[in-house]
Structure 1
Amino acid sequence: MPICVFDIAEDGTTTVPQDNNLTGDRVFRWWHFDLADPLLEAWTREHLHSIPGGALIQSKTRPRCDTFEGGLILNLRGINLNAGQDADEMVSVRIYADEDVLITVRRNKVFAIDAIRRNAEAQQAPASTAKFLETLIEGLTDRVDQHVATIDARTDHYEIALEDKNTPMPRDLPENRRSVIRLRRYLEPQRAALSKLSTLDLPLIPETVSLGLRELANRAAIAVEELDELQGRLISVQEEHDGNIAQSQARHSYVLSVAAAIFLPLGFLTGLFGVNVGGMPGVGSPSAFAILCLSMLGLGAIMVALLKLVRWF
């Protein structure tokens, strides 16, 4: 039924319980479920009030932090590190915590929780529900910081490449812009949720843990601010690329316009003298063609002089 369940003692040692009670005889019992478990809804109805139970099985969530009868309802998001999936399609973890029980539910694998699970199997679990939350949030925040730093490094590369105005627009620039938008969609409410969590006055969160939570809330706020900055920088990069393309097209159009202005009267003359009707001057003169060519060359020179006079180039 659950992915894992541990009774966790004060020193971080763990045992796997043999009963199905919500709580155990140690500091707290950790239940970890997959949202796709068909028995999960019945389990929550049996063991939990409908409000925290319903929060754990919601199909769609956004980051939140609410208290319930001394306990804590918490939804968080983390970077999606699962193979073949986009990192910015953030994975969710639904949490209900009290002093003697902690329940986590995930839809996709959450690597920060998986790290805690491995530590629990190695008898090094967080020693309280508050420490568990701090460890989990720190793991999620570390991965967010790393991913934001990766996007920041790409943006630096885009900006350096712009020193050469002939640099083509990076193919992954639009995808990075969309990635920043998707990340901010979840991280802004997560920042608010962590800020609220860090200020809660609950028995299950001692002051020593609250200090750490405040630092993590500050890191979440910095990540959101960096995303805001990255969004502006990526827009600026794209606008500069668009401007360079527009300037290049304008230069090409300008050259074509100058050429058209020079050759338009010359084309008129060649068309006029090319008509096949009687009475055309110079038809019987062997020097007529040379005179026409020299006249057109002189006319071309006059057109160039006139265009320079009016400052077309």
Structure 2
Amino acid sequence: MRILDSIDDALIKESRQKQEFFWLDLSDPSKEQIEHLGALLGLHPLAVEDSVKFGQRAKLDTYGDTALLVLQGGVESEPEDENPHPLEEVHCHLSGDFIVTVHRNPYSELHDLREQFTRSNSPKTERYYVYKIVDVIVDSYFPMLADLDEQINDLEDAIVSGAGRRELEETFRLKRLLLRLRKAVVPMRDVFARQIEVITDLAGLEPDSHDYFRDIYDHLIRICDELDSYHEMVASCTDLYLSTVANKQGATSKQLAIIASIFLPLSFLTGFFGMNFSWEVGHVLVGPLAFFLLGLGTMVASACLMWWWFHHKGWTRADG
């Protein structure tokens, strides 16, 4: 198989004349380049228009002897970083003579696969090359899923340690990311579930190539299942955050209730001795000893008694 990374009219015409299967991988081509490529390879005008505009849902459109397969590949990022570009839309123009992949940004998975094909000396069938290209795009989600698993586990630990605004924002970010990934993967799963035979027939591949695409379908099912499980885990993080906040509020309310209960008898004592009855002033509150014993002493004793009672009931413990 011949591998190209730019539009070379002479090489493309030579490959088609010799019926040599080739792979052309284009990154961020211009509108004029795509239209020129469409005229060179005889692509359908609607397929050319889709590759010019991009922003397509995962789908498979067949046009005679050619087909347009639109896929959404995953773009891996480090777990601690927010990834503003988690998906890469890849247009695969399929035929029995060639496969053309078009994407807006440099895509490392396809670049690595090109180098792998270049180093390999063993000849492969056309169906294998098509399968491998599509399989690399689909399997690009697995590193992302591993990163998401670590992020969700770290988020759970952070919420248990102390739920704050940062953890809440991280929870909603993961929810939005998982929803975006699922919207990209589910249509691809549906395409491979319903139109596997269409790909093998109209792309000019061997009849048994549907076994390869069934393997891709199995990978897509696994990815969807993991995304669903991660979505449930993030939803449980939301419940954990709310329960943690409620526990904090309950602990704060308990502390305030204890303080208010301790000051309740103090307020009663100061109010009672502050009424200045003539008998009380003349017979009870006389001298400094009465001030320290009856005034301060009773307040200290009542506060100590209340604290002992709360401790005895277990209300002062963190898990009380």
Structure 2 length as normaliser, TM-score?
0.75
2: distance between equivalents of 1:44 and 1:288?
Answer: 105
CA shift for structure 1 position 299: 5.0
Q: Matched residue of 2:55: which SS?
A: coil
1:25 matched residue in structure 2:
18
1:194 matched residue in structure 2:
192
Range with bigger deviation, 185-194 or 226-235: 185-194
Is contact 1:65–1:196 with CA below 8 Å preserved after alignment? no
- Picking from 43, 48, 54, the partner of 1:53 is 48
1: distance between equivalents of 2:83 and 2:271?
Answer: 63
1:10 matched residue in structure 2:
none
2:62 matched residue in structure 1:
67
2:6 matched residue in structure 1:
4
1:105 matched residue in structure 2:
102
Q: Which amino acid aligns with 1:89?
A: P
1: distance between equivalents of 2:230 and 2:52?
Answer: 34
Matched, 1:77 2:72: yes
Q: Matched residue of 2:288: which SS?
A: coil
1:117 matched residue in structure 2:
114
1:168 matched residue in structure 2:
162
Could you list the per-position Cα deviations for residues 96-127 of structure 1 after superposition, in whole angstroms to 9, with x for gaps in the alignment?
11112322211011223213322454465985
Range with bigger deviation, 142-151 or 167-176: 167-176
Distance change (3 Å), C-alpha of 1:71 and 1:119: same
Structure 2: runs of 5+ lacking an equivalent: none
Range with bigger deviation, 136-145 or 289-298: 289-298
1:152 matched residue in structure 2:
149
Q: Which amino acid aligns with 2:179?
A: I
Is contact 1:180–1:231 with CA below 8 Å preserved after alignment? yes
Identity, in percent, stands at: 18
CA shift for structure 1 position 142: 2.7
Q: Matched residue of 1:39: which SS?
A: helix
Q: Matched residue of 1:23: which SS?
A: helix
Q: Matched residue of 2:201: which SS?
A: coil
1: distance between equivalents of 2:84 and 2:194?
Answer: 26
Range with bigger deviation, 82-91 or 23-32: 82-91
Q: Matched residue of 1:266: which SS?
A: helix
CA shift for structure 1 position 237: 2.9
2:27 matched residue in structure 1:
34
1: distance between equivalents of 2:7 and 2:114?
Answer: 9
CA shift for structure 1 position 30: 3.1
Q: Which amino acid aligns with 2:228?
A: D
1:291 matched residue in structure 2:
294
Structure 1: runs of 5+ lacking an equivalent: 7-15
Distance change (3 Å), C-alpha of 1:232 and 1:252: same
Is contact 1:28–1:128 with CA below 8 Å preserved after alignment? no
Distance change (3 Å), C-alpha of 1:244 and 1:123: closer
Is contact 2:69–2:93 with CA below 8 Å preserved after alignment? yes
Q: Which amino acid aligns with 2:45?
A: S
Q: Which amino acid aligns with 1:132?
A: Y
2: distance between equivalents of 1:72 and 1:128?
Answer: 19
2: distance between equivalents of 1:99 and 1:218?
Answer: 24
2: distance between equivalents of 1:251 and 1:95?
Answer: 58
Distance change (3 Å), C-alpha of 1:295 and 1:156: closer
Distance change (3 Å), C-alpha of 1:306 and 1:123: closer
2: distance between equivalents of 1:152 and 1:183?
Answer: 14
Is contact 1:95–1:102 with CA below 8 Å preserved after alignment? yes
Range with bigger deviation, 77-86 or 40-49: 77-86
Q: Matched residue of 2:75: which SS?
A: coil
1:236 matched residue in structure 2:
236
Q: Which amino acid aligns with 1:291?
A: L
1:216 matched residue in structure 2:
216
Q: Matched residue of 1:27: which SS?
A: coil
RMSD: 3.9
CA shift for structure 1 position 312: 7.8
Range with bigger deviation, 64-73 or 74-83: 74-83
Of Structure 1 and Structure 2, the greater helix share is in 2
Distance change (3 Å), C-alpha of 1:210 and 1:121: same
Could you list the per-position Cα deviations for residues 193-234 of structure 1 after superposition, in whole angstroms to 9, with x for gaps in the alignment?
232342425152323321011011111111111110011012
Is contact 2:99–2:130 with CA below 8 Å preserved after alignment? no
Range with bigger deviation, 43-52 or 70-79: 43-52
